[in-house]
Structure 1
Amino acid sequence: MAETSLDELGPVDFVIVEFPKDQSNFTGEMVDELVRLVDAGTIRIIDILILAKGDDGVVEAMELSDMDELGALQKIEAELAELLAEDDVLHLSAAMDPGSTAGVLVYENLWAAPFASAARRAGGQLIANGRIPIQAIIASLEADQTLERVGE
């Protein structure tokens, strides 16, 4: 992260993936896909946290550096900025179910960095962004298909 100037940064997003009690698996296919995105230059990982929420609601946060076996994540761990603070952990874990485990990923969208830099140089600033859940897209497409069948 240190070698990137602030003017060159792309949009930064985060995702939280929650696993029900006793079903967490942060290895395998998920890790392979994450490493693939990094290697392809699509994203740059800024921070990764593992959150464990006890049945009593108490949250334990672990950085990758706290983990014993990193496997393919070893290369990513060496470049993390560890951006998230204790207040962030409390906010991010609020939606978690008791007994669950979640992975928090903060990443820069490298694919969008040139556009974001150009927008800033032109005097623009990001005033909103969002994400449409895939379930909403599927529901919308299914509703359109139903309307088309009814209209035939």
Structure 2
Amino acid sequence: MTTETTLEELGPVDYLVVEFPAGQQNFTGEAAEELARLSESGLIRVLDLLILTKNEDGSVDALEIDDIPAVDQIRALEADIAEILAAEDVELLAEAMEPGSVAGVLVFENRWAAPFASATRRAGGQLIANGRIPIQAIAASIEAELASEEGN
């Protein structure tokens, strides 16, 4: 990793993959601007960023951020990018994609949580489970609750 942070100081590291289906791609640069804002504010540190394109024939093109011409908003992040995803990771991620789609793959350190993570490691703690609840599942749960309240 190209950073001055030691492993002891490292915050939790997450990844996410966002797919943009064929015909629904509206790249205005807004997401890149938000990613740059999150990094500049110190909330996250970008460790890897890829753009995957799955062609209609199933082949996949993977571009590192420094190979993409139209992302000026996040050029400043290049110094922090560690490029930790391997070719095997790209292959596994691409399997889940639909032909004609484009996906952004982001690996990031949660810098906001680094002090807590460091303190728990110093106390002998270790992460044994974590997860994420998709916003669609939360919205569906809220809608179901509201529907049951209206039915009563």
Instruction: Determine if the TM-score, normalized by the shorter chain, exceeds 0.5.
Output: yes
1:78 to 2:79 alignment = yes
Mind listing any 5+ residue stretches in structure 2 that lack a counterpart? none
Q: Secondary structure at the match of 1:62?
A: strand
Within 2, Cα distance between the matches of 1:30 and 1:48? 13
Within 1, Cα distance between the matches of 2:96 and 2:25? 17
Q: Hey, what does 2:132 align to over in structure 1?
A: 131
Within 2, Cα distance between the matches of 1:23 and 1:142? 25
Q: Hey, what does 2:6 align to over in structure 1?
A: 5
Contact 2:51 2:102 in 1 (8 A): yes
Within 2, Cα distance between the matches of 1:135 and 1:62? 28
Contact 2:47 2:82 in 1 (8 A): yes
Shift of 1:147: 2.4
Mind listing any 5+ residue stretches in structure 1 that lack a counterpart? none
Shift of 1:26: 4.9
- Give the 5 Å matches for 1:1-80: 1-21=2-22, 23-24=24-25, 26-80=27-81
Q: Secondary structure at the match of 2:99?
A: coil
Cα deviation 1:37-88 (Å, max 9, x = unaligned): 1111110000000111111111111111212343121101232101111001
Contact 2:3 2:80 in 1 (8 A): no
Distance 1:26 1:13, change over 3 A: farther
Within 2, Cα distance between the matches of 1:48 and 1:77? 9
Within 2, Cα distance between the matches of 1:12 and 1:118? 16
Q: Secondary structure at the match of 2:80?
A: coil
Within 2, Cα distance between the matches of 1:118 and 1:26? 40
Q: Hey, what does 1:120 align to over in structure 2?
A: 121
Q: Secondary structure at the match of 1:131?
A: coil
Identity %: 59
